Amino acid sequence: MKGKAMKTYHLSRIFLLFSVAAFLGCESPSSNDVSISGRVVNNSSGEPLSEAVVVITAPAQFQNESKITGADGSFRFSGLNVNEATDISIEARKTGFDRVSITVPATPGRDINVEQPIALIPEDTGGGGDNGGGGVAGPSTGPAQLILTSVPVQAINIAETGDQISAAFTFQVQDSAGRALTISNPARVNFDIISGPGGGEQVTPSSLTTNAAGEVTTALFSGNTAGPVKIQASITREDNGQVIRSTPVLIAIHGGFPDQNHFSITMEPFSIEGYNFNNVRSNVTVIVGDQFSNPVKPGTVVYFSTSGGIIQGSSQTNEDGVASVQLITAAPRPSDNITGSGGRLGYGTVTARTIDQNDNAILATAEFLFSGIPQTPIVTRNGGANPGDGFAIPPNGGVSFEYTVTDQNGNPLPSGTMFKVEVGEGLDATGDVEFELGDFLFPGEGATQFSFSVSDIDEDASDVGGTSIKIIVTTPKGVSASTSIEGTRAKRIKN
């Protein structure tokens, strides 16, 4: 094919895509056979080229292999026996187009899908064509701008954490007409870290020559320190000394090892109806950060244990450094003598553990209560008088009461217990008369001690009459306790 130029692509992107596929664990067939598939297109229009000839030019053992592309420009070689890692060279040719050669890495037993189509350049374009240059024909000229064509991931993890520690990105070098450089006029692109955390992060490789598509692909590798990184790509033209720079690329490094100062735990609820019931559950959540106040890498394992009941053994952190399990009420019932418990039964401790950068165990603890059966409410008049002998609502007045409700161990009832105070006809009660109990560990005001007032609101009542007040508590499991007190409503004085 006299007069036709031979163009060779070192397809770094193809190599990258193939390597990633291999890394992700493509299953190998039982033999060493390899298949190679791809497409041939017109470089100017992007349309598929049918009846193009695709041949293997190296290694020698496959040199007789050839295929003709279909209507969609596709081709496929199969049954290529590869005994060791081998570079296979493929050439595509068609009348009226320049030949193009690519090289793909082959590994025994792994099929190859050439993701980037092989683009044949029509002969009459002089090897360059329009290529988006606003009607400018002919081959591309010297480099004039660097365009980021493959945006890197937003962030990578700190080195040695076992997660993603590198980010690959691609620049395309274009001339002043916006056309990509070709294999005949390549440029050398240098990469530098112009700002970073200073933990040993680096760009590798730091200098590359553009391929046939005018592209270079490199990667940032993290160090042992978190922070933002600015990467700059630059070209120094040999013909005039002009320096062309890209806009710096920002990538964050974070997701280090767990740190004791950034390890916290919580439970919801703390108070569970578990002293007498099994399989009542509470959510236990930890938030794990590294020494730089960022979430640890996703998938960091946290182990859990408990002094009472059963707890799910482990969980992995998500992107926010959060890991969750459930505490399940069961034997043994807890009896930790924690601060504030007064030695009462029902208190326990959940412990979460993980490992820091120096292989030291770090932990966080949360205290909880297995609450029991509600006891009969104890009611007193305001000031401590026992209303057991009754009460009287004075004319034009009211009466205030205090009452105490605990479980059989003297502890608060479980979160979600319903309280209700019922009064007789013509009376109104205000205060702690109808509500849902919050989440409390220890006795005290609002947890086990409550108050309310009763007043006469019947404007027409003129005789002395009997009345009653009833206090009812009902736990989430439906266990109730109540008490009633009897009294009188005095004759109302009318003006």
Q: Topology of 260-370 in CATH?
A: Immunoglobulin-like (2.60.40)
pLDDT of 253 reads 81
181-195, 218-232, 265-279, 289-303: which is most confident:
265-279
pLDDT digits (tens, 9 = 90+) for 456-494: 887 665 555 678 899 999 999 999 999 999 888 765 555
Reply yes or no on whether the pLDDT at 350 is more than 80: yes
CATH 3.20.20.70 describes domain 145-254: no
Reply yes or no on whether the pLDDT at 196 is more than 80: yes
The residue among 340 and 43 whose pLDDT is bigger is 340
**pLDDT class for 194, splitting at 50, 70, 90?**
confident
pLDDT of 163 reads 74
**pLDDT class for 32, splitting at 50, 70, 90?**
confident
pLDDT of 224 reads 83
Q: Do 378-489 and 260-370 fall under one CATH topology?
A: yes
This prediction has a pTM of: 0.61
Alpha-carbon span 293 to 319, nearest angstrom: 14
pLDDT of 28 reads 41
**pLDDT class for 403, splitting at 50, 70, 90?**
very high
pLDDT digits (tens, 9 = 90+) for 315-347: 999 989 999 999 999 999 999 999 999 999 999
**Assigned token pair, 292:** 């730089």
Letter for the amino acid at 489? R
Task: Give the mean pLDDT of 284-294.
Answer: 94
Average pLDDT value for the chain: 84
C-alpha distance from residue 92 to each of 44, 65, 149, 221, 285 (Å): 16, 12, 26, 36, 59
pLDDT digits (tens, 9 = 90+) for 11-25: 333 333 333 333 333
User: Please, what CATH class does the domain formed by 378-489 belong to?
Assistant: mainly beta
pLDDT of 197 reads 83
The residue among 452 and 393 whose pLDDT is bigger is 452
pLDDT digits (tens, 9 = 90+) for 383-392: 666 776 678 8
pLDDT of 216 reads 92
pLDDT digits (tens, 9 = 90+) for 75-134: 999 989 988 888 898 989 888 888 888 888 888 888 999 888 898 888 654 444 444 444
CATH code, 6-125 = 2.60.40.1120
Task: Give the mean pLDDT of 288-313.
Answer: 93
**pLDDT > 70 in the chain, percent:** 86
C-alpha distance from residue 208 to each of 30, 172, 231, 285, 301 (Å): 38, 12, 15, 47, 39
Reply yes or no on whether the pLDDT at 66 is more than 60: yes
Reply yes or no on whether the pLDDT at 205 is more than 60: yes
Reply yes or no on whether the pLDDT at 39 is more than 90: yes
Reply yes or no on whether the pLDDT at 139 is more than 80: no
Q: Where are the domains of the chain?
A: 6-125, 145-254, 260-370, 378-489
Cis peptide upstream of residue 412 (ω within 30 degrees of 0): no
Cis peptide upstream of residue 443 (ω within 30 degrees of 0): no
The residue among 393 and 13 whose pLDDT is bigger is 393
